[in-house]
Structure 1
Amino acid sequence: MREHLEGVRLGGEMEEPRIRRAAPYRRIAELREDEEWVKVMGVVVEKKDSEIVLDDGSGLLTVFSDKEGMFEEIGVGSQIRVFGRPMLSVGKEMKAEIVQKVDGLDFELYWKVMEEVKRLEEEIR
């Protein structure tokens, strides 16, 4: 390995890796401004170049991104999961960092399971 690194200098302090806690699942109606990292799931009901509108049955959420092409593979009717930061001061908005298609997922069953998980977590606290 040393012969491959000859002439290479590593300088400066290395930045500490940022470890982010797992994103809690939220229904759109439950989003809070004070949370910096959450995930929501729903159906795309409207699409523009840099934003989409998501419906999870509890409300509508405008999801936007600065990353070009983030919503390229997504169309109206797509089921998606979005990880990002809620921005609720203007309206129901979220800045997306990760978008995943979950077409074919049984949302009703998923939400029932997530409600049961939440209930059990509260029970053990």
Structure 2
Amino acid sequence: MQTEIQQHAGHDEVPYHGTIRGYVTGFVLALVLTAVPFALVMNGLLPQSGLLVGVTLAAIVQMVVHLHFFLHLDRSASERWNVMSLLFTVLIMAIFVAGSVWIMYSLHMRMTDHVPPHLHHAHMQMPEK
């Protein structure tokens, strides 16, 4: 017998939604998605660019696993507002990070002599007579 909260939350739509089986599946996937990039990095099995791509892809897939199995976000109509609020949060965080980087870059340019790093040595040398 279901409670009114479970019926309202739409827990019947996905059979593993909020069950031990769902949590164990998510946990095992999270462990695999952590162990594989760790092994790749520690054993040096790929070149640096391949490692960067592999670790990034594993991180993205792991975020999706966490959102689906632990936060129970999916494409159902009942979760639409939760997904929208998550996307809005990501947008606000991106604005904060981009603004912070912009401000730090601007401060750096205003406090230095505006010479690009690759020309710094040529700028500092005295002309020969």
TM-score, normalising length from structure 2?
Answer: 0.24
Higher helix share: 2
Higher CA-based Rg: 2
TM-score, normalising length from structure 1?
Answer: 0.25
